[in-house]
Amino acid sequence: MVTRPRYCGGPSVELGYWLGGQGTPFQPLETWPQLQGRRVIGTYRGRSAAALACRLLGVGEGQEVLFPSYNCGTELDAVLHSGARVVAYRVSRRCEIDLEDLMARKSSRTRAVYVIHYFGWEQPMAELRRWCDDSGLLLLEDCALALFSSGPSNSVGRAGDASIFSLSKTLGSWHGGLLSMSGSSVVREPNLVSPGIQTLWTEFRTSLRPLVYTGLERLRIYGPLISVRGRLRKCRDIGAQDAEFPPMPKSYYFNPDADADRSLHTRIRALAGAASPDAVLNRRRANYARLAKTIEGHPGVEALYPELPRGVCPLHFPIRVSNRDALVREFEIRGVPAIAWWKGFHLGAIDWANFAEACQLKRDILCLPVHQGLDGEHVEHICSAISDVLKTATC
Ligand SMILES: Cc1ncc(COP(=O)(O)O)c(C=O)c1O
């Protein structure tokens, strides 16, 4: 038995969907608990939503946005596209934002605070909201990793003047983002352009992947192929020295021609509408709990979040290990697509040398899949790969 790529939250749209739907009734996205009572705008991608939030709220030239030092870089580049300057603030090794550091960085040019709910875990939104209101600042919430999460205080995606979502990360489409705005935000007409046929073509090609992978799996050659790829990458890595701050991939940068002012494709809206927030949440939580139990007692490996609080919909199972990139290869060899999470750095806007903890997170965090598409057999395969890898590798 081998794992399929849908494990990592990647493409999971079946071909049948394109050939007349999956028979699941589509719900308007506005009925999702996280979006209720908010103005919802469908966007091409999550990064498009971040750029649009800045445009609609008037964030731009001559202004500053307080920004978390631990970031993907994509969201950062989308905010830079507005013309505003970003001022990074400290994020701890446990992915908690440092409120004191954040507040100390406010200047007369500060216009907004940007906050990321890492992997679905809730940030302290009540304190932030209060401080932003008292200081006359906008609050921009990034929920790209937190679709269907509410958190113990039920604030994820509800406290910000604008909240940004990326549908692809949880639901497995190729594109898709949402911007939700609070009732009190001044909303001009977004005037978005439809993404067109190219988007549909990419989605269609993406939807063929599970079919191909399943075929390879039936022929019993998918596992060996993944494993060979892992071994080849491992050979390539031997002796390779990563730069201190390896750049993030080019595709992470904001491309104004492709990403700005584009709407959500109607087909992807329908696809997202077929998802059940409760079913996704419950499945992901159950998978997370199973993986968390498996790493218990293994020295040298630590769950980034040992607890799974009420209402959290985990995007992955992030663990902290010291020889992360080597372990990613070991998981690949066993057919499990582990991710070296946010390994690359956005170069240019942040002085990384001042943010040791964020840099360490970029070097240590390895993500394992908890995707809702996994069945029991898949999860057991991942668990035995974890035991195997952690037994043989020195973390
Ligand atoms: C925290 C965060 N915000 C926003 C985005 C942008 O989402 P998208 O890839 O849908 O543009 C990403 C993408 O990786 C992300 O990690």
**Tens of pLDDT, residues 166-187:** 999 998 887 899 999 998 766 7
Over residues 131-142, the mean pLDDT reads 98
- For residues 301 and 319, give the distance between their C-alpha atoms in angstroms, rounded to a whole number: 7
Residues with CB under 6 Å of ligand 1 are: 45-47, 72, 74-75, 116, 142, 144-145, 166, 168, 177
Question: Ligand 1: which of 72, 149, 253, 346 to mutate, most ligand atoms within 8 Å of CB?
Answer: 72
List, for residues 208-218, the tens digit of each pLDDT value.
776 777 677 67
Determine the distance separating the centroid of ligand 1 and the alpha carbon of 260, expressed in angstroms.
14
Domains along the chain with CATH numbers: 17-181 (3.40.640.10), 203-243+276-392 (3.90.1150.10)
Query: What pLDDT, on the 0 to 100 scale, is given for residue 382?
Result: 92
Determine the distance separating the centroid of ligand 1 and the alpha carbon of 338, expressed in angstroms.
18
- Please give the residue that has the higher pLDDT: either 221 or 206: 221
Determine the distance separating the centroid of ligand 1 and the alpha carbon of 143, expressed in angstroms.
9
List, for residues 344-373, the tens digit of each pLDDT value.
999 999 999 999 999 999 999 999 999 998
Over residues 117-139, the mean pLDDT reads 98
What's the chain's length in residues? Answer: 395
Question: Does 156 score more than 90 pLDDT?
Answer: yes
Question: Does 83 score more than 70 pLDDT?
Answer: yes
Look at phi and psi of residue 151 and say left if phi exceeds 0, alpha if psi is from -120 to 50, else beta.
left
- Do the strands 110-116 and 316-320 form a parallel or antiparallel pair, or are they unpaired? unpaired
Tell me what the pLDDT averaged over the chain comes to.
Answer: 88
Is the pTM here over 0.85, yes or no? yes
| Confidence band of 165 (pLDDT split at 50, 70, 90) | very high
Question: Does 98 score more than 80 pLDDT?
Answer: yes
- List C-alpha distances in Å: 204 to 19, 188, 266, 352: 11, 33, 14, 39
Query: What pLDDT, on the 0 to 100 scale, is given for residue 256?
Result: 94
Helix (H, G, I), strand (E, B) or coil at 64: strand
- Please give the residue that has the higher pLDDT: either 115 or 378: 115
